[in-house]
């Protein structure tokens, strides 16, 4: 079971123009994203590393949860 944050909606405030940008995690993970209002480029390397780490931990957590439930199957829709 692979859990992914890619389709989760995010709201980020641009550090330059203070406008709110609503996009999915997948959008922010891509290279070379810019603010649609002022073209300020976003540095997303650290964000991607954090998301990868969070995804890994979530998957481990779900696996443990599944083990603790024994034969019961869980499904989490995102
Ligand atoms: Zn901006």
> Per residue in 18-60, pLDDT tens?
999 999 988 988 888 999 999 999 888 888 899 889 989 999 9
Q: What's the CA-to-centroid distance between 48 and ligand 1, angstroms?
A: 20
Structural domain count, the chain: 1
Q: Please check whether residue 52 lies inside any domain of the structure.
A: yes
Whole domain around residue 56: which residue ranges?
9-67
Q: From CA 43, how far away is CA 30, in angstroms rounded?
A: 10
pLDDT, greater one: 9 or 73: 9
Q: Please check whether residue 73 lies inside any domain of the structure.
A: no
Q: What is the pLDDT of residue 74?
A: 66
Q: What's the CA-to-centroid distance between 68 and ligand 1, angstroms?
A: 46
pLDDT, greater one: 14 or 70: 14
Q: From CA 38, how far away is CA 41, in angstroms rounded?
A: 9
Q: What's the CA-to-centroid distance between 49 and ligand 1, angstroms?
A: 23
Question: Pairing relation of β-strands 20-24 and 9-13?
Answer: antiparallel
Q: Please check whether residue 74 lies inside any domain of the structure.
A: no
Q: pTM for the complete prediction?
A: 0.64
Q: What's the CA-to-centroid distance between 14 and ligand 1, angstroms?
A: 5
Q: Please check whether residue 75 lies inside any domain of the structure.
A: no
């Amino acid at each position: 079971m692979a859990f992914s944050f890619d389709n989760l909606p995010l709201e980020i405030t641009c550090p330059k123009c203070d406008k709110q940008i609503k996009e999915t995690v997948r959008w922010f993970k891509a290279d070379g994203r810019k603010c649609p209002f002022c073209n300020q480029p976003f540095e997303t390397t650290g964000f991607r590393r954090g998301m990868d780490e969070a995804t890994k931990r979530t998957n481990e957590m779900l696996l443990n949860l599944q083990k603790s439930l024994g034969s019961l199957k869980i499904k989490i829709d995102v």
